[in-house]
Chains A and B, each alone.
Chain A
Amino acid sequence: MKVLILGATGHVGSRLHTHLQTTDISSIAASRGRMRSNVPNHVILDSMNLPELTKQLQNVDAVVNCVAGSKDSIGTGAQILTQAALAAGKPTIVHLSTMSVYGASEGIITEQSSFDPDYNWYAAAKCEAENHMQAYAQAGGKVIVFRPGCIHGPNSVQWVERIARLLEAFRLGDLGNAGDGWSNLVHVDDVVKAIHLGLEMPLGAGEIQHFNLAAPDSPRWNQYFIDLAQAIGATPVKRIHPQQLKLDSKAFSPAIKISQKILEKAGQKKLANQLPEPLPPSLVRLFKQHIFLDAQKISSQLSFMPYQESLTSSVEWLKHEHS
């Protein structure tokens, strides 16, 4: 089987490409620019360019869509992908969506739960992308959609490195009620395994399958923060007052964000990177959102990495990065 990976420089895409090298699936890593290191089977491809993308898709059996970025590259990108795929003979699409499509929903969320595109721009873009996938299936294509929770493990800047920095600065810790939401963590290798599984899943023409991805033993955010803080020595873990969190996300962090943008525009990227980590209000909202991503549908085919093991893997990567 021949597979094209879009967004192959990203967290999941690059790990998937590396993984597939060890299997009998032949993968082509596609990215807009050059890869940082020498990667086998790499093509430079602008996934927003319909003719170019169609040409690439004519040579593969399946495409994995790991494209991240702006609203357009997610929403319109998915539209272009489905158009290209239709023109190229309908290869299978494995589409990496997100739990953000469920927006502000709380409680146990299965694949049948309703979407909430009004939640924020990201949810809107991801919902739009999924709608295009749905339309592709209706047109006779085969689609597998994965909706992962928060992807951690090695190279997870968002859910490991950023959180670690905030813990070290004692801006995160035990948040009490404000950190009582489920973390819905899923290890990047489990996402890769799931995509591999998706590529080999027998589907009929016009069939679409959706799967949530979150380790069933993934803890609440507070527990993750306390465990990670202890593992990296950001102790004693501090109980963060809700007012501190509010002040941080609504006053301090916007100021950091603005400063970052100004410095970047002034060509001072290095200096911008030295600023403290922003703690956006959307993240603070997520920490208290009681959303439990139910991944039972895929559990019979995929055994998730136990939480302790995935935490150790994240911490080892973090320590290696910092050493």
Chain B
Amino acid sequence: MISILNNLPSGSVIEADICIIGAGAAGISQALALSGRGLKILLLESGFEFADDKTQHLYAGEVADEKLHSPPDKYRQRRFGGSTTIWGGRCMPFDPIDFEQRDYVPHSGWPLKYQDLAPYYQKANQLLEAGMYEYDADKVFDADAHAAIKGFKSDIVKTNNLERFSCPTNVGDRYKQRLLVAKDIDILLGANCTGIRLNQTGNHVDHLDIASLQGVKAMVRAKKIILATGGIETTRLLLNSNDVCKNGIGNEHDLVGRYYQCHIAGNLGKLTVKGPTNVVRHGYEISPEGIYCRRRFALTAETQKKIKAGNMVARLHFPKIVDPSHKIGVLSGLFLAKNFISYEYGKRLKDGNSSLGIYLKHFANIILDPIDTIKFLYHWITKRTLAKRKFPSVILNNKSNQFTFEIHGEQYPNPDSRITLINETDELGMRKVKVDWKYMPEDIESIRRSLKLFVQEINQSGLATFEFDDDKLEEDLTRFGAYGGHHIGTTRMGTNPETSVVDVNCKLHNVDNLYIASASVFPTSSQANPTLTIVAMSLRLADHIAQTLNAGKSSHSII
């Protein structure tokens, strides 16, 4: 059942076994996984089934440096379906090495292993509609016929690392009917959590305060509370709820909001493949079950350990869009259309101030390359705009065998990269956040060491050459700041309450019924985009919570 808080009388007390705050990827997966076990589940969502500017504005806040991080109300959606209403759909699990404690990555190490999460990854893959849970490209596609570069073999740089693409699935739209059919799930929209109220000893959530933007206030009492509001908002809620714990909930050791990680990303280098253009497969393959997939270049775990580098992947990419010297009409078209593309997808097209001359050169590229531009537009409209499973991104015809690498690398956990509260409050009286994302020299150096091995292995193969500008590496990797939308690490998981906020079951160390389902619990960020792991962790948490309530397994799997 779906209701709206505004339609309830002020002062209502809503009771449930489990209250999930946030109906995004984490919250909806949780609700689905908890259903059918004899529990009463309440799913609170601040927004509605449509975008609402006033609600979205509750996400507004400050950033320490706009060049390094996007404003807090971007890349996040405060509505039913959460940020899956705008995400790109890239799915891949974290690698086993990501869970390990690595002496060269300070503050690394999860209290669980890849194997603990593996069964949940399978279900998460299904929920996000990413097909089979198989991420070894050579097991999905022919290793030779579908090689990234035909004949390229290396014991150090592998190309069988696969990424799969969700539709991208908007979990709100996609699973609304399942939620409605489930008699044990109540969804309350327009319900903003304005406070997590602990008992006097501070070890148990007594109730939640909730409020609508129109002034209706109510209270929720539940045996278990799950925060599923994303990395930034989870932090904000904990820090704002400071009536019993003066530093905010879970913040006895000043950890909440610290270790804020995104990903280090950039488009760099020059890869030239020898031979005809058909020796390279730089675009998307379609798996038998119909999923867009792409190979990525990555160092083996052993190599990472050997050179003491964080995890990183690289994808074959087209030249820098902003530079018209690529003479590609499609790219120039994208550049000229940048102001009509949403903030989240247009950001990397806006690189400094472009002169009139630059604009004219881009315009000339379109005029001189009309056939490819039209072909591209036709493909884009039929396979992306109108399609339900969308072609994931711009892929151009390979005419020259010249590529760059698009890097997506792990960011090292850094206690000084943090989210804090400012005194300014939102309409509901909640203090807003300030995001101070910082990277460290080691983030860049780690990628530099990895790229040097790329140079070595690719050049040694005799099939291609690769070079990158050593002097400009930091600039190339930080030109657009933190990779948007990945909000990791601010309520990190661990066994020691002095160095972590939640335990292995995502429960706050000192509060017996408060849990977090968010990338904020990830101690490290991996090379992988976080959504698949957020969902997998949420499904694992659902099982754990059901177990603690002696609810057992669902009589039928709703997932």
Contact = CB atoms under 8 A, between A and B. Distances in A.
Contact of B389 (A226, A235, A239, A288): A239
Nearest to A241: B388
A180 B177 contact: yes
B167 A176 contact: yes
A218 to B, nearest CB: 10
B189 to A, nearest CB: 19
Nearest to A173: B290
B177 A235 contact: no
A242 B178 contact: no
A237 B167 contact: no
Given A180-B178, A241-B386, A290-B178, A235 B288 contact: yes
Contacts of A240: 388
A239 B167 contact: yes
Interface in A59-104: none
A221 interface: no
A257 interface: no
A238 interface: yes
A292 to B, nearest CB: 6
Contacts of A242: 388
A292 B556 contact: yes
A292 B290 CA distance: 27
B288 A236 contact: yes
A235 B386 contact: no
A176 B556 CA distance: 20
B388 A176 contact: yes
Contacts of B289: 174, 226, 229-230, 235-237
Contacts of B386: 241
Contacts of A216: 556
Contact of B387 (A108, A237, A241): A241
A297 to B, nearest CB: 13
B183 interface: yes
A290 B181 contact: yes
Contacts of A313: none
A236 B285 CA distance: 10
Contacts of A237: 288-290
A52 interface: no
B556 A108 contact: yes
Size band of the interface chain B makes with A: 20 to 34
A235 B290 contact: yes
B173 A236 contact: no
Given A174-B389, A239-B387, A107 B288 contact: no
Nearest to A217: B557
Contact of A230 (B129, B173, B288, B387): B288
A223 to B, nearest CB: 8
Interface in A130-170: none
B553 to A, nearest CB: 12
A264 interface: no
Given A108-B556, A216-B556, A174 B174 contact: no
Contact of A236 (B129, B183, B286, B388): B286
A290 B290 contact: no
A236 B289 CA distance: 6
B181 to A, nearest CB: 4
B287 interface: yes
Interface in B158-188: 167, 173-174, 177-178, 181-183
B526 to A, nearest CB: 28
A239 B177 CA distance: 19
Contact of B177 (A174, A177, A238): A177
Contacts of A173: 290
A226 B131 CA distance: 9
Contacts of A226: 289-290
Interface in A238-286: 238-242
Contacts of B167: 176, 239
B508 to A, nearest CB: 34
B387 A236 contact: no
Contacts of A292: 556
Nearest to A290: B181
A118 interface: no
A238 B181 contact: no
B99 to A, nearest CB: 30
A168 B535 CA distance: 33
A106 interface: yes
A134 to B, nearest CB: 28
Contact of A176 (B174, B178, B181, B286): B174
Given A177-B177, A290-B178, A236 B287 contact: yes
B178 A238 contact: no
Contacts of A107: 181-183
B416 to A, nearest CB: 44
A311 to B, nearest CB: 14
Interface in B176-208: 177-178, 181-183
B136 to A, nearest CB: 18
A151 B129 CA distance: 27
A239 B181 CA distance: 24
Contacts of B288: 230, 235-237
B292 to A, nearest CB: 10
Contacts of A176: 129, 167, 174, 388
Contacts of B181: 106-107, 290
Given A176-B388, A226-B289, 16 more contacts: A107-B181, A107-B182, A108-B555, A174-B129, A177-B177, A180-B174, A180-B177, A216-B556, A235-B288, A236-B286, A236-B287, A236-B289, A237-B289, A239-B389, A290-B177, A290-B181
17 contacts: A107-B181, A173-B290, A174-B129, A176-B129, A176-B174, A176-B388, A177-B173, A177-B177, A180-B177, A180-B178, A216-B556, A235-B289, A235-B290, A237-B288, A239-B387, A240-B388, A242-B388
Interface of B: 129, 167, 173-174, 177-178, 181-183, 286-290, 386-389, 555-556
